[in-house]
A and B are shown apart, each in its own frame.
Chain A
Amino acid sequence: MSKKEWPLWEVFIRGQHGLNHRHVGSLHAPDAEMAINHARDVYTRRREGVSIWVVPSKDITASSPSEKGPLFDPAESKTYRHPTFFDIPDEVGKM
């Protein structure tokens, strides 16, 4: 009997009024259909009106670090492309 691990999937979600699908995280599932159900349970808590994409993590091709300069540098000045999402103040999570 196979002891193999369920494959890893990357989950992308478009909210009700959202523009593009956004990467929200990963999960494990035996196939794409179950990955969609899991994504719904884990990442949307089943809010309606959302669209979910799942992609096998192994099928994602990422730019290699050496390409980093040319690919990303030109956009650096366009700050509107860099949501301040990650600069969450320390107060977050406080009571």
Chain B
Amino acid sequence: MYAQLVKSEGLKSREDMSPEERDFQDRVDNGEKIEPKDWMPEGYRKTLIRQIGQHAHSEIVGQLPEGNWITRAPTLERKAILLAKVQDEAGHGLYLYSAAETLGVSRDELLEKLHSGKMKYSSIFNYPTLNWADIGAVGWLVDGAAIMNQVPLQRTSFGPYSRAMIRICKEESFHQRQGYAIMMKMAAGTPEQKDMAQDALNRFWFPSLMMFGPSDKDSVHSAQSMAWKIKMNTNDELRQKFVNETVPQADYLGLKVPDDKLAWNEDKQGYDFSEPDWSEFFEVIKGNGPCNRERLNARVKAWDDGAWFREGLNAYADKAADRRKAAAVAAE
């Protein structure tokens, strides 16, 4: 997902837990929210920082592939919608960094880790947006996949994370719709437009399935995260749900999902489908995706080029505070 490979602790059995840990687990099991000042296992805090941080990074790096088309949007209305959508993603990043900050890490520290490559963001944003239908496909498939994960995360155990997800989900609902609306226009448009739509689906289908991460049904890391309710479903569950919901939407568009093995399975009441190429996934994570370098460079450049701006505003704030102090002293 937006946080695809978050390292966590192995699952602890109840006997191995300290009294504090048992107490904590009971609160989580009862559906209580954990708040920043509450006692929490160090592993819970660290895993959350990694997960929320990755999620936040994904939101702001995720601005880039779509931002790529803002100046080329084909109508004024599409331009406004796309700009508003990409702006929302910046807001999502901001909310999530704020949630991470309640755990005692600063936003600048997290950004530093993104820029140095120590922290990752979702693999999906290392794929290019090559034609206008990609903007439709990203909204429909990428935001669609993200929503699969984010809706259950509204119930996550950590209060600030849960509240950020609630706010994000509210804003997210229009993202998938605007993407699908573009796809409907393209799929029903000229032959060239329909080709673009099919091409976009061909390129984004498997990378979208990769967003859920490799199968983790046997992973102890995932088991711990699920016990802590910072992960709500297995990757495979979410992927299956996504395929089940998306295939009829593709059918409606008259587009073909690029998977010859795709078939409805009456027994499991879901589709059988091909796994994405996981070797490609691991290459992308390692930095060898088509756009890894461009994406990271763009973020680093924005940050470095903005240093004088941030410092200038800091300096003025300091001077203004000094002036206010001096005026107050003079008035006494």
Contact = CB atoms under 8 A, between A and B. Distances in A.
Interface of A: 1-6, 8, 25-28, 30-31, 34, 42, 62-65, 85-86, 88, 90, 92-95
Interface in B155-201: 162-164, 166-167, 169-170, 172-173, 176-177, 180
- Which label, helix, strand, loop or mixed, suits the secondary structure of the B interface? helix
B314 A30 contact: yes
A13 B147 CA distance: 27
A13 to B, nearest CB: 13
B316 A30 contact: yes
Given A3-B307, A93-B172, 7 more contacts: A6-B314, A8-B101, A25-B94, A65-B37, A65-B38, A94-B173, A95-B176
Contacts of A26: 98, 101
Interface string B65-103: 000000000000000000000000001001100100100
A34 B317 contact: yes
Given A2-B315, A26-B101, A90 B162 contact: no
Interface of B: 33, 37-39, 91, 94-95, 98, 101, 106-108, 144, 147, 150-152, 154, 162-164, 166-167, 169-170, 172-173, 176-177, 180, 245, 249, 307, 310-311, 313-317, 320-321
Nearest to A7: B317
Contact of B180 (A8, A27, A93, A95): A95
A17 to B, nearest CB: 19
Contacts of B166: 85-86, 88
Contacts of A88: 154, 166, 169
8 contacts: A3-B307, A6-B310, A26-B101, A62-B37, A88-B154, A90-B152, A92-B173, A93-B172
Given A1-B311, A92-B169, A65 B39 contact: yes
Contacts of B101: 8, 26
Given A25-B167, A92-B169, A95-B144, A31 B151 contact: no
A92 B154 CA distance: 10
A90 B107 contact: no
Nearest to B102: A26
Contacts of B316: 30
A62 B37 CA distance: 8
B91 A42 contact: yes
